[in-house]
Structure 1
Amino acid sequence: MKIRKIFNNNVILLTDDNGNEMIVMGKGIGYNKHNSDVIDFSQVEKKFVVEKATSDKLMSLIGEIPTEHLELSNEIIEYAEQQLALKFSDNIYITLTDHISFALRRFPEGIIVKNALLWEIKKFYAAEYEVALNALHIIEQKTGIKLPEDEAGSIALHFVNAQQRGQDMKQTYQMTKIVNDLANIVKYHFGIKLDESSINYSRFLTHLRYFAYRILHDELIPEERDSLYDHVKHKYPESYACARKIRNYLEINYEKKTTNEEMVYFMIHIHRVTNREHDLAEE
């Protein structure tokens, strides 16, 4: 592959004969090089093989921010993927890099943005949040800037967002709000404090997260001919009453109609997470 554009000594854009592009990073990889030169891949430390739309946006971003911010973001992404044992969508290289760079540039100006969903993020995305807290330590070590805890919440949401097919951040915020509101409906309907350390609570949160994603993307479980809806409704009448409140909430606030099949899963999870005798029997 040949050099198409040199951003600096450490970041360059390559292209092959078919027009496919790759952004590569490596210490001194662009030193004394020129456009159309062939690169030595033994010097490549990191490569971004991304779709053209993402590549264009990333190139534009690289031209606007310090290279150190790109390298810092890349280090954090690699660390997060390792700790969370997953692969993020390419879009995170744009969104997280842009966010971190902006946060670092506005901090000396005293501009600190509060994260309105910090409590919910800490509660519902505990693993991502813990990694994000460590990301703040990485940032401090590299830049000397100690960003506030609110930034850990924002970084955690970027990790969550990058697991959901690279959806936009607005939908990730919506998902978090939906999960929080539905959990509160269950808690207040039964007038109990849910055991957040239980395996049933963990299962319930996982179900809520996937459900919130499905409802925002109109991918609800379809109706089935041999549905268990009537059977489960009569077996768990209190869970059914609670699930109806959830159905009403979604219709009023999001104009989304919940299928009976989704209601079946809600009733089962609600029963599990609120029935203490059932929990004790499983332990």
Structure 2
Amino acid sequence: MSAITIVKALNNNVVMAEHPSEGEVIVIGKGIGFNRKEGDSLSAAQAEKLFVLKNEKEQEQYKKLLPQIDETWQSAIIEAIGHISERVSGKLNEHIHIGLTDHLLLAMERVRQGHTIVNPFLTETIALYPFEQELAKKAVEIIGDKTGIYLPKDEIGFITLHIHSALMNKDLGEINRHSQLVTNLIHIIESDFELILDKESLDYMRLVRHLRFTIERVVQGEKVKEPEKIAQLLKYEYPLCYNLSWKLIKVMQEFLKKKVYDAEAVYLTMHLQRLKKYE
């Protein structure tokens, strides 16, 4: 690979540089920015990590953010995000370098000051995104080992959503709203059934993931085929679950402002009946 030309040293370990094929990139390496000036060349061997921020707004945000970060914290966050990037099979949205860095800095500062972090959507988030949650756990472990600041389990849930957002190239706000909707639906089920669901059970995991995919189908306008004979059977055999499934569908429609097709009631009823049998 041809030499990389430094555009600006952000600190001792991070520089903005001009890459011969990628354009402007972020280059990370221990001491890589020390005593460097614009126009200096770097070899590929000196770069421990390199990533591209094609969006100019993202570039400017990162340039402003990095120099303000303690270098130990910065190194830990970069390593954590690097681990995430290496583990995923697809390409992460580049915003993760800004969004997750900023989020982790705030969380670390809150923990250092002794503040409590509470995540009301933790259980559903873990059930919805198990792969991303494992990456989040490892990221927290890396940060803890390098900085001595161990983020709580509730924080792992928030990091999980950032990772899912970057992996699926979806807006974080939308993902948060959908997680909130799943949590609301679970509360309605527990209230109507007058029970506390076993959050570790396989049937609970299946229900939560089914709700997630239902929401995605609704958002995308995807219609599923309605098995009419099964619908009639379920309506007759399991009226409580069937009626509750329609209650949940109405909540989804109101929340998402989109039509939910009738067939979804059939599949929801089957999941609800599995949970009902444990009463």
Global fold match (TM > 0.5): yes
C-alpha distance in structure 2 between counterparts of 1:252 and 1:210, whole Å: 17
Change (3 A) 1:144 1:195: closer
What is the one-letter code of the residue matched to 1:138? I
What SS is found at the alignment partner of 2:140?
A: helix
Percent sequence identity is 29
What is the one-letter code of the residue matched to 2:234? Y
- Kindly indicate whether the alpha-carbon contact (under 8 Å) linking 1:220 and 1:262 is maintained by their aligned counterparts in 2: no
The corresponding residue for 2:226 is 228
- Kindly indicate whether the alpha-carbon contact (under 8 Å) linking 1:89 and 1:165 is maintained by their aligned counterparts in 2: yes
Consecutive unaligned residues of structure 1, counting only runs of 5 or more, are 278-283
Consecutive unaligned residues of structure 2, counting only runs of 5 or more, are none
- Kindly indicate whether the alpha-carbon contact (under 8 Å) linking 1:62 and 1:70 is maintained by their aligned counterparts in 2: yes
C-alpha distance in structure 1 between counterparts of 2:228 and 2:194, whole Å: 25
- Kindly indicate whether the alpha-carbon contact (under 8 Å) linking 1:220 and 1:259 is maintained by their aligned counterparts in 2: no
C-alpha distance in structure 1 between counterparts of 2:43 and 2:134, whole Å: 38
- Kindly indicate whether the alpha-carbon contact (under 8 Å) linking 1:22 and 1:49 is maintained by their aligned counterparts in 2: yes
2:31 pairs with 1:28: yes
- Kindly indicate whether the alpha-carbon contact (under 8 Å) linking 1:6 and 1:13 is maintained by their aligned counterparts in 2: yes
Corresponding residue to 1:61 among 24, 41, 65: 65
What SS is found at the alignment partner of 2:220?
A: coil
What is the one-letter code of the residue matched to 1:47? L
Q: For the aligned residues, what is the CA RMSD? A: 3.4
Change (3 A) 1:70 1:262: farther
- Kindly indicate whether the alpha-carbon contact (under 8 Å) linking 2:127 and 2:205 is maintained by their aligned counterparts in 1: no
- Kindly indicate whether the alpha-carbon contact (under 8 Å) linking 2:181 and 2:255 is maintained by their aligned counterparts in 1: no
C-alpha distance in structure 2 between counterparts of 1:100 and 1:255, whole Å: 33
- How far the C-alpha of 1:221 sits from its partner, in A, is 1.0
Map 1:13-162 to 2 at 5 A: 13-16=16-19, 20-52=23-55, 53-80=57-84, 87-162=91-166
Change (3 A) 1:163 1:268: farther
C-alpha distance in structure 2 between counterparts of 1:197 and 1:258, whole Å: 28
- How far the C-alpha of 1:11 sits from its partner, in A, is 0.9
What is the one-letter code of the residue matched to 1:177? Q
The corresponding residue for 1:281 is none
Q: Aligned residues, how many?
A: 270
- How far the C-alpha of 1:7 sits from its partner, in A, is 0.9
Change (3 A) 1:188 1:82: farther
C-alpha distance in structure 2 between counterparts of 1:51 and 1:261, whole Å: 43
What SS is found at the alignment partner of 1:236?
A: helix
